[in-house]
Structure 1
Amino acid sequence: FRSGKLLLLLVLLLLLLVLLLILLVLLLLLLLLLLLVLLVLLLLLVLVLLLLLLMLVLLLLLLLLLFLLVLLLLLLLLVLLQVHLLVLLLLLLLLVLLRLLVLLLLLLVLLQVHLLVLLLFPLVHLLVLQLLLLVLLLVLLLVLLVLLLFLLVYLLVLLLLLLLLLLLLLMPLLVLVLLLLLLLPVHLLVLLLLLL
């Protein structure tokens, strides 16, 4: 009877030891699971920090690109302004020279015709003089029309260049908006991961 009790006690002790071992194994598994969870959280945190750093670097690069584009456009505007002033000066000089040449030629022709008419046809002198004056006026009008057409073409070209500059100014802003729209889902995903 005593030996049966001892065997029963031994069996109970063995069962307790087995239960304790099972509990220890479960505790170890829980600790390992907690470590894995902590590692995953650390990895997520590192990924979030890397994404934020990447976004910051991209924004800085975009700002630098915008700054460089603005500087380039300002330089281009200065060059265009100088070219514009130079062209205007050349046009004014050309206009003055053309007027002087036309006036000199017309004066010479008028003088010769005047002398010829006075010698040959004194009665027709007035009619010839009037015709020459009309021709002079027509030539001057033609010269002025040509110069006006040239100025209009130049102004149209300048307007097109200004429109292109405005388009170049707006392009970096559009690129920045598109990049921000592309980075917005990444930012929302990072926030969701942080909340989880």
Structure 2
Amino acid sequence: MIILITLIILITILPLLLLLLLLSLLLLLLLLLLLLLLLLLLLLLLLLLLLLLLLLLQLLLLLLLLLLLLLLLLLLLLLLPLPLLLLLLLLLLLLLLQQQQQLLLLLLLLLLLLVLLLLLLLLLLLLLLLHQLSK
């Protein structure tokens, strides 16, 4: 009789226990999958944030370049030589703002360096002239 009762209990409870174990394993697998998905989402968010930071850095560089060009424009307007070079700088700036290409940026920076060297040369000549006049 006892063996029969234990057999009946085992036959009814054992599948339920196996089902419960299977469900818990499935739930654990689902939880791990959700954790992996959350990790991937976090990684994607980090990547997007990095991309946004790079874009903002590029925009900041462009803004700094524009500010430098405006300062140079002010210097050129104060000294008022080389109007053709000023026109060329403005045209290159407009081209740069229209299409942001590295070659154009390099060309503009080289031209800016050339203008700054010309201004330095002009200031040195002016200082030399003042020195000669003071004698």
Tell me the TM-score normalized by structure 2: 0.54
Stretches of structure 1 lacking an aligned partner (at least 5 in a row): 1-10, 107-196
- 2:49 is matched with 61
**Residues 91-118 of structure 1: CA distance to partner in whole angstroms, max 9, x if unpaired?**
525624742772x566xxxxxxxxxxxx
Q: How many residues align?
A: 93
**Aligned with residue 78 of structure 1, among 66, 69, 87:** 66
Task: Give the partner amino acid of 1:60.
Answer: L
In the superposition, relative to structure 1, how do residues 17 and 84 fare at CA in structure 2: closer, same or farther (>3 Å)? same
Bigger Rg, which one: 1
Structure of higher RCO (CA pairs closer than 8 Å, 6+ residues apart) = 1
Alpha-carbon shift at residue 22 of structure 1 (Å): 1.2
- 2:129 is matched with 99
Alpha-carbon shift at residue 50 of structure 1 (Å): 0.5
Alpha-carbon shift at residue 57 of structure 1 (Å): 0.4
Alpha-carbon shift at residue 59 of structure 1 (Å): 0.3
Tell me the TM-score normalized by structure 1: 0.39
**Aligned with residue 14 of structure 2, among 10, 15, 26:** 26
Task: Give the partner amino acid of 1:64.
Answer: L
**Residues 29-73 of structure 1: CA distance to partner in whole angstroms, max 9, x if unpaired?**
101101110110111011011001100000000000011111112
In the superposition, relative to structure 1, how do residues 32 and 70 fare at CA in structure 2: closer, same or farther (>3 Å)? same
Task: Give the partner amino acid of 2:44.
Answer: L
Stretches of structure 2 lacking an aligned partner (at least 5 in a row): 76-115
Tell me the C-alpha RMSD between the 2 structures: 2.9
| Identity level (%) | 66
- 1:50 is matched with 38
Q: Counterparts of 1:22 and 1:92 in 2: how far apart (Å)?
A: 103
Task: Give the partner amino acid of 1:95.
Answer: L
